[in-house]
Amino acid sequence: MPTRLFSARWRELDGALVAGEARLAMIPEKMRQLLPEVELDPSVISVLLCSSTVAFLGLKWMVKKLVQQKMQEARRNRVRALGQMEEAVQQFKQENPEVQASRILSLPLIELVKKLKEGSLSPESVLYTYMDKALEVNQDVNCVTDFIQECVHLLQEVRTQKKKGSLYGVPVSIKDPIGYEGHVSTCGLGQYLGYPEQEDSVLVKVLKNQGAIPFVKTNISQCLINYDCSNLIFGQTVNPLNHKKSPGGSSGGEGALIAGGGSILGFGTDIGGSIRLPSSFCGLCGLKPTGNRLSGPVSYVQTVTGMVGPMARDVDSLALCMRALLCDDMFRLDPTVPPLPFNEKVYSSSTPLRIGYYDTDGYFLLPPCMRRAVHETRMLLQEAGHMLIPFIPPRIDYVMNELFMKGLFADGGAALLEKLELETVDPNSCSQINCYKLPFLLKKILAFLTKPLFPRFSSYLNALCGVWSPKEFSKLHAALMIYRREFLSRWRDLDLDVVLCPVLGPAFTLGYPGRLIAAVSSTMLYNVLNFPAGVVPVTTVTEADEENLKHYTGHYDDPWDRRLRQAVEGAVGLPVAVQCVALPWQEELCLRFMKEVERLAQRQKKQTEDNLQHAGSQADAGRDLQNDVQRALSHTAGQSDMQAQASRTTVQTNMLMDVQRTLAQTDLAADVQSVVQTEASLMTLQTDVQKTGPQTDLLADLQPHVSPQSSGLDVQPDVQTQLTHPDSETMPCQPDVQTQLIQPDVQPDVQTKLTQCDMQPDVQTQPSQPDVQTQLTQCDMQPDVQTQPSQPDVQPDIQTQPTHPDIETQPCQPDVQTQPTPPDIETQPSHHDMQTDVPTA
């Protein structure tokens, strides 16, 4: 029975199929009956195809033209808005000339809020001061895209709030994609112009409830896919610290504005490092929270988590911001945000931490300065009592290509390219976009050909092919979960609290970020893992870092490594930062770790500055001492000249006196009358010299030399009056008489050496009458006599070097030296052999 029933039903089904086929066969026949038969000429078909192509291209050109017109209109609107902003600032300045802008701008966020709440500062003065500074910074670096005119009305609403919020009266800046009612979020694309937001984003609503005043929106990169900051609507933003460098991206406008002083608190978005990279390039503190800890405009990409986060000048500002945002308003307005208030206990804790660290991820070796920053911070943390443990993140090359790039461009970049069909690609993104535009087959071929020589680029091209089936996408998601468990397992095996690691930097030269997209491996890892991560500046690039960069080869020494070296050249003085990471939903611990790093880095910087200042003071003191000694030497040299003149006068006087006595005995006094006159003039000169040195003991030193009386016991008989042997030569100066001066205003150990050759300029004197030779008696003077004064402060023939190591007084260079005829005869008259009265002729 069942068999018969089954056979009957099978026959019915078969008959229905046959009838259906018959009806389908009749459809073309009926269509031919309804439509007239027309013979198509091939030329007509060609014309139709060409016309369709022309129409399509014309329509596309018109749409692009319309987009360009919108872009031009957007630029005009920006100029108009900034003009209104400047007019409002000038009007406020005229009405309130007493406002001290520099004082307001110098206050950190914590102190600013305190003064606003207590009333010592008004919200108006703070807002207009930052508006003025933002205009100045924008003129310098081109970072502001829109002025939020509603901030003036919001100012009045803030003043009427019954309860002053945590950010009462604080002007804040927001990144372009963060929605604000009545203002456009362009994402760097002209096609979004003309479509203003219908309502405020949840983040903006919470900021307003906490008393903050959003006043400007800031520039971004085209499509938010580049860590530069340039688009064809508003142009290129540059780094305020060095205009040849990029501020980072895609939140580069925020980084440039805050680093330039035009904003005290800003908000960016981060899907691969867009908060942390501008913070690193511009020397700021930035926090990428766990995905969905804050409500933001960036939604989940299946394997890469994006989020909104704060940027400021210090960690305390970030903590205050998170404390204000993690409130009931945030949890009520966005129920998808977990109701986790800010944990003040964790942030304020001082318990020592177990910190993992690494200076390279094994995929992209960062420049020497970034690795130096990690090791210096590690040493500071160890000295502060924390436990530092080496940590190696697993398989970063696999994460970069198979999880990050393939997950971000799972469709091979089709959605992105569709957005760019009606746009002109920004020049800074051309290299990146051109890779996305390659056909699937060509990507595979190039990946195969470049693998032996350029393995990283080969893997990158394979990743850009994306996944083209739901099965492959499910495998990708499963692989992500497996990697997260592997990473967490390694973290827990070491019992870590946080991790210290490098961040990409220092700031790249303009044009390089779009050509080194793979260099973001240090930041993209924690987007894939969905861990909170922050950036803290700790030092700056030094000349030694620049020198070490010349020897940088990277892990692969391939074109990317060489390009990275070129990108960061010329960065001396730019900030260098480190990255601090915690486990998911532990933003407070991450901030606490960042605060500890910031505190230690600032203390180290202060110590270094104090040491440099102390060294500079010592150097200045040394220079002052050297200048004083040089002046003393100059003064001493002048007095040495006077001493030399006085000494020469004394010697010549003694000679003339001896000759006078001899001539008097031979009745030749008349012949030496001229000599006596010469003696009188020399005595007058001696008196003048004595008057010029009242500040020194020069007079006392010269007194014994005025008229020494030779003793009969000191002179050998038959000594001729000729001072030198007739055939002797003038030799280089050999000092025979050295006089030491004690001067009150000169270093006591600086002594001046006088040579006898300075005292006798005309020593080689032969008697004019060869047959007349005057014999000196035992009481007469012997030539080349070394006179030793009796004063205790004068020591003959002793060369005393100055005690200062860098100062040495050399003996003067005389013109003539007196060489005694009998070299073995020297007479040193004692004190009792010298006369105090000058004998006259």
Q: Which pLDDT belongs to residue 651?
A: 58
Question: Tokens 């004068």 appear where?
Answer: 794
Q: What is the pLDDT of residues 386-426, one digit of tens each?
A: 999 999 999 999 999 999 999 899 888 888 998 888 888 99
Question: Is the separation of the CB atoms in 786 and 823 below 8 Å?
Answer: no
The mean pLDDT of 135-150, rounded to a whole number, is: 96
The mean pLDDT of 205-217, rounded to a whole number, is: 96
Residue type, 491: W
The mean pLDDT of 172-189, rounded to a whole number, is: 95
Is the pLDDT assigned to residue 451 strictly greater than 60? Answer: yes
Q: What is the pLDDT of residues 768-808, one digit of tens each?
A: 443 433 333 333 434 343 334 334 343 434 333 434 434 34
Predicted TM-score (pTM) of the model is 0.71
Q: What is the pLDDT of residues 249-288, one digit of tens each?
A: 999 999 999 999 999 999 999 999 999 999 999 999 999 9
Q: Which residue has the higher pLDDT, 757 or 353?
A: 353
Q: Which pLDDT belongs to residue 48?
A: 77
* Confidence band for 478, pLDDT divided at 50, 70 and 90: very high
Q: Which pLDDT belongs to residue 681?
A: 56
The mean pLDDT of 156-177, rounded to a whole number, is: 92
Is the pLDDT assigned to residue 31 strictly greater than 90? Answer: no
Q: Which pLDDT belongs to residue 123?
A: 95
- Cα(380)–Cα(401) distance, rounded to whole angstroms? 35
Question: Is the separation of the CB atoms in 284 and 537 below 8 Å?
Answer: yes
Is the pLDDT assigned to residue 490 strictly greater than 60? Answer: yes
Q: Which pLDDT belongs to residue 38?
A: 55
The mean pLDDT of 93-122, rounded to a whole number, is: 94
**What is the average pLDDT value for the chain, to the nearest integer?**
79
Q: Alpha helices, DSSP H only, in 672-755?
A: 673-691, 698-702
Q: Which pLDDT belongs to residue 39?
A: 59
Catalytic amino acids?
175, 250, 274
* Confidence band for 664, pLDDT divided at 50, 70 and 90: low
Question: Is the separation of the CB atoms in 216 and 173 below 8 Å?
Answer: yes
Residue type, 472: E
Question: Is the separation of the CB atoms in 505 and 255 below 8 Å?
Answer: no
Is the pLDDT assigned to residue 53 strictly greater than 90? Answer: no
* Confidence band for 687, pLDDT divided at 50, 70 and 90: low
Letter string b/e over residues 767-803, b meaning 16 or more CB atoms within 10 A of that residue's CB: eeeeeeebebeeebbbbbbebbbeeeebeeeeeeebe
* Confidence band for 32, pLDDT divided at 50, 70 and 90: low
